[in-house]
Amino acid sequence: MRPRDSVAQAPVDNGKKPRRPPKKRARASDVDRHQQNVEVVKSGARRAKWQPRPGKLAALMNLPLDVLFEVFGHLNPLDILRLARTTKEFRRVLMHRSSMSVWKNARDNVPNMPDCPPFWTEPHYANLAFDPHCHECGAPGVRNVDWRIGRRICTKCSKTCMVDAYHGASVISGLVPSKYGKRGRLLFYRKDVEEVQNNLHVLAGSDGLEAYREERRAFVKEMETQAKVLEAWAASQAKDRSDQLEDARRDRKTAIIERLTEIGWGDEIEHIPYTDDLSHHRLVKQPTRLTDRIWNNIKNDMIKYMEEMRTRRLERERKALLIARKRTAIGVLRSYKVTHLPFTDVMPEAVDFCSFPEVNEIVESPTETEVTETSFADVASRMDDLVHSWRTRIHSQLRARVKDNLLFSGRRRARAERVTPDPLYEEYVESLGATFDAKGKTKEVSLPVPDDAEIDQIIPLAITVFRCKTCTPSIGLPGDLSDTEYDDFLDILGGRQNRSIPLFYPKVMGHSCLTRSRTLPWDYSAMDDPNFRIDFPMSTRTKWNTHLLQVDEEASKAARTVVEACGEDPLITTATKMDELDPRLVCLDCVKWSKHEVNQGEVPVFAWRSAVQHRMREHRPDRQPVKWKKLEGELLEESNRNAREMHKFTQIFDFQPFRISTNLQASHGIEEPAENEDYYKEYEAPQGRRSVFKPSDSTVTLQMERPPHVPLPGHGFLFYDEDDEDDDEDYGDYDEDDFYFGNSFFPLF
């Protein structure tokens, strides 16, 4: 144990000296280390493991300065700038004022580069012009130089280091360089603004303030002048660089084409369309020279691409062959149609005809098989049977569409909280032996499903009115939104006018919208196919379909009142029979009372189709039913005498009469065109989109009792009736939306 006395113990001398800390090794400077590397390179001695490997340019600084400057004079400014950043020795030499000639010679190596502005040094000028780094954060890849403020700033830093012109900025606006940002905003560099503001604050009240202002104004003016020159040079450099890259890409493409031609792809390259040109390929559009090594790396990919191009070429040739065969097939259809003019039934168009199995089999025959008009001889001999089968198929589609409309309308009524009695629907349901609750209470209605025979009896009736959702949308809604399911919503708006054109069977089968698509196909090459092509804006041909048709309930109710006014039974009277009767009716709700006779008024006269359309266009559906009167005897004769002159060619397919006459005269030299020879009337007439709505054929004068609310002749109007607000309207004055103007002409086929 250690003794507890306070006497100090004498040191024991064991003959050993105390250890001293080791001396620190002197750290060699970069210059000394560089000198060591130079000596190692000169002597060829092996370096110690702890020593860094000497660079390839280690002995460069041992050269005489005049030789060194001569070498530097062949470099670009960016090369000199990067060399100055390698070692301290290079930086010491290149950043010295005596090396000014090195920077100038390097700048002369850049074509048309302006001289260094007097307010910048050569290294600063080279750094600004060529080094693509942000001057704030050092981020790489900043290509744009703001010459007006003398800086290269990235997008991220510009949000913080650039300030907008603010209130009071006019004090420094001429003293600080600025640039224009987005939307014409004037932007300043924040540090420049702070520096100028501090100097103005320090010099406030002194004699040097105005001199400082003049100095800054001269500097800003000189900088703006230099910026214009530098911006023009930078734009020229960018264009030259773009041209160089384009030349490099062109040379690479030429070299690749030569390599592909050597291995047998030359003919295939000549058939490549512009859309698949080799210049668009990622391996071809690179701006690097094609070497043997690069070609060996991309050879397999290029061969694979050429095989794909060959496959596409064969597909294009096959498609062109099918198009040529379809033109031949359409010639058979055209000849058949010409022999059946005027049309008494709906005819198939090119899309439907080419889809017939008998026709499609010939069109799709192998490529090596030759197809001519004689190939369709069997089809031509069976055209009557083929067309009859097609009409049966499309009639089945129409039957299914009508059935869906009836069931949908019934389900909508069943879902309603209060069932509104509908005489037409009640009569139809009762005729099928079902019950219908019209007390207004919520009740699940078991709807009968009509069979095909019953639907076939409903379709031809004059009270079965169709409408097209494309050519007659409700209140401007798109065609696909004006379906029956939106009727409840539209009724809430109030006062909805149905501007639809009533369509009746059998003419509805030839409605043009059933074989037209209002959108262009994604594949524009399909526009060359005679199946789909049509000289009509934003339209193509499609197969016959009924997805745009629906039963118009309101128009059906209007047609019922018209048929009943003619003394016919709505449940058995067809539209064809009404056309044969061709009755004339007057609207008793549109009387224009005489200003001279008490019980005398003038009323418009309508054909039965125009009467239905008049009801839908001019009278709100929530009012009382329109009162009609059928003209007979002397009134009918008066109507015929007053009838307006009708245009002879009103319903010509796709063209208004004057357009047909002009086209035939200008394009074909036909002065007096003949119907069914130079043109034909479409099967859809006298209804459809191209039908011009005639408000009335004529007017007649009736003797009838004047209602109490109508003022007597010579008296003022003390009562205003909303229904009479359009009584003085000129029925011939309608806006352009009420008419359809075609701008294409279809050849006769």
HEC readout, 161-217 = HEEECCCCHHHCCCCCCEEECHHHCEEEEHHHHHHHHHHHHHCCCCCHHHHHHHHHH
Question: Mean per-residue pLDDT for 650-658?
Answer: 47
pLDDT reported for residue 534: 45
Percent of the chain with pLDDT over 90: 38
pLDDT reported for residue 736: 36
Of 747, 680, 688, 719, the C-alpha closest to 340 is 680
pLDDT range class, residue 27, cuts 50, 70, 90 = low
Of residues 488 and 125, more confidently modeled: 125
Question: Mean per-residue pLDDT for 80-84?
Answer: 92
**Average pLDDT over the chain, rounded to an integer:** 76
Over the stretch 5-26, which tens digit does the pLDDT of each residue have? Answer: 433 333 444 445 555 666 555 5
pLDDT reported for residue 478: 41
Question: Mean per-residue pLDDT for 326-351?
Answer: 90
pLDDT reported for residue 696: 60
Give the Cα separation of 642 and 602 in Å (integer): 12
pLDDT reported for residue 718: 43
Q: Where are the domains of the chain?
A: 325-387, 394-551, 582-738
Q: Highest mean pLDDT: which of 238-252, 480-494, 610-624?
A: 238-252
pLDDT reported for residue 495: 40
Q: What is the CB neighbour count within 10 angstroms for residue 19?
A: 6
pLDDT reported for residue 657: 59
Residue 527 predicted with pLDDT over 60: no
Question: Mean per-residue pLDDT for 345-372?
Answer: 93
Residue 240 predicted with pLDDT over 60: yes
pTM above 0.75, yes or no: no
Give the Cα separation of 162 and 178 in Å (integer): 10
Residue 412 predicted with pLDDT over 80: no
pLDDT range class, residue 528, cuts 50, 70, 90 = low
pLDDT reported for residue 629: 87
CA distance readout (Å), 17 to 13, 14, 24 = 10, 9, 21
CB 36 within 8 A of CB 50: no
Residue 128 predicted with pLDDT over 80: yes
Question: Mean per-residue pLDDT for 350-355?
Answer: 91
Using omega within 30 degrees of 0 as the cis cutoff, is the peptide bond preceding 342 cis?
A: yes
Find the range with the poorest average confidence among 125-129, 183-187, 241-245, 324-328. 183-187
Over the stretch 419-449, which tens digit does the pLDDT of each residue have? Answer: 444 555 555 445 544 444 555 444 444 556 6
Over the stretch 605-630, which tens digit does the pLDDT of each residue have? Answer: 888 888 888 888 887 665 677 888 88
Residue 117 predicted with pLDDT over 90: yes
CA distance readout (Å), 47 to 60, 259, 626 = 19, 49, 114
Cα 64 to chain centroid, rounded = 69
pLDDT reported for residue 269: 95
CA distance readout (Å), 540 to 368, 527, 686 = 30, 8, 24
Question: Mean per-residue pLDDT for 101-129?
Answer: 93
DSSP string covering 95-111, please? TSGGGHHHHHHHHHTST
Give the Cα separation of 425 and 571 in Å (integer): 12
Of residues 742 and 94, more confidently modeled: 94
pLDDT reported for residue 745: 33
Give the Cα separation of 40 and 35 in Å (integer): 9
Residue 140 predicted with pLDDT over 60: yes
Question: Mean per-residue pLDDT for 64-84?
Answer: 88
Find the range with the poorest average confidence among 545-559, 613-627, 682-696. 682-696
Question: Mean per-residue pLDDT for 557-563?
Answer: 90
Residue 692 predicted with pLDDT over 60: no
pLDDT range class, residue 363, cuts 50, 70, 90 = very high
